[in-house]
Amino acid sequence: MELKTLNEIEIISAPHSKISEVDFENLTFGNVFTDHMLVCDYVDGAWQKPVIEPYAPFMIDPSAKVFHYGQAIFEGMKAYKDEQDDVWLFRPDENYHRFNKSATRMAMPEVPEDVFLGGLHRLLEIEKEWVKKGKGNTLYIRPFMIATGHGVIAAPSQEYRFMIILSPARAYYSGEVRVLIAEHFSRAANGGIGAAKAAGNYSAQFYPTKLANEQGFQQIIWTDDATHTKLEEAGTMNVFFRINDTIYTAPTSERILDGVTRKSVIELAQRENIKVEVRSVLVDELVAAAKDGSLKEIFGAGTAAVINPIVGFSYLGEYYELPKLENSVALEIKEKLTNIQYKLAEDTFGWTVKI
């Protein structure tokens, strides 16, 4: 796809840049933000003229619907800089379409393509110096929308604010990850909002994840809400299981997010003649594979970490450590995927978009 710069936009430049004050070698993920942000309000049934302005707090009514009824959605994307100093996005159309699916599910207005993608293009043109070269360096992109209409009646807001903020990031290392398979808590339920990038999905995970952390586990592998027998997602990521030489992952549904990295892993694995099956994986199946040695790898896939290997899991009080592999399929796929993102390998899929 081709991104077109949005011309109908007001630009208010920051009086000075804070880029010289940032230690790009020691970044905490999501804590430092660039000089500018994009803001576009929805008022009287129409989107207003977007503005790129200095990054700063803003005023909001205490009765805004976002505080009381949780109308808030977001996306996670990244920009990359190649060795020629060109800036690239990775499958931004997927994030745009998913954002509007989330908006529809949360009774929020869809954001026009020229505001979301065109506005992002213009913002990245302004902030391109914040995208550093070198594999592992990225600019994390957070588009989001909140309900700003006032009043505490339980009804959808009539006013909204769409924003894009940018945060420089280094390679995401989380150390060895061991997970607890959920026996009681659920991430999402049929008929709910699990497939939407709704803010409430993530806050609902914090408590059971806190309990898992207290037991020495970094994350939870979520199971289906009805029977807790089907493996669904790992923390905030889609999850894959390698049993013998086949990779398995759950199909997307009302409970499972349609991850952009997930799609890319599947397509890339298929190109490399790695067998992939998209089907429900049972907890009992995973335990049996761990016991007989056919379970080789478990890994999460998402924007922040790209691919995050999982070294072991616990279920019903019993812990299973995975084998140490010299040739990890997960890390092989991660290498090939990140090489495409950083333009170190040919993009045969047409996934990358130049700014």
Output the CA torsion sign for 223, 224, 229, 232: negative
Burial of residue 30 (CB within 10 Å: 0-12, 13-18, 19+) is: middle
Which pLDDT tens digit goes with each residue over 125-167? 999 999 999 999 999 999 999 999 999 999 999 999 999 999 9
pLDDT digits (tens, 9 = 90+) for 25-83: 889 888 999 999 999 999 999 999 999 999 999 999 999 999 999 999 999 999 999 99
The pLDDT confidence band at residue 4, using thresholds 50, 70 and 90, is low
CATH number for the 10-171 domain, one of 3.40.1010.10, 3.30.470.10, 3.40.1000.10, 1.20.1730.10? 3.30.470.10
pTM for the predicted model, two decimal places: 0.94
pLDDT digit string, tens, across residues 300-345: 999 888 999 999 999 999 999 999 988 899 999 999 999 999 999 9
Structure tokens at 206: 């914090």
- The mean-pLDDT minimum among 210-214, 303-307, 349-353 falls in 303-307
Spatial CB neighbours of 108, under 8 Å, sequence gap ≥ 6: 71, 73, 102, 145, 147, 156, 157, 160
Q: What is the CATH number of domain 177-337?
A: 3.20.10.10
- Using CA atoms, how far residue 81 sits from 190, 281, 308, in Å, is 40, 38, 22
Per-domain residue ranges for the chain? Answer: 10-171, 177-337
Contact (Cβ atoms closer than 8 angstroms) between residue 124 and residue 80: no
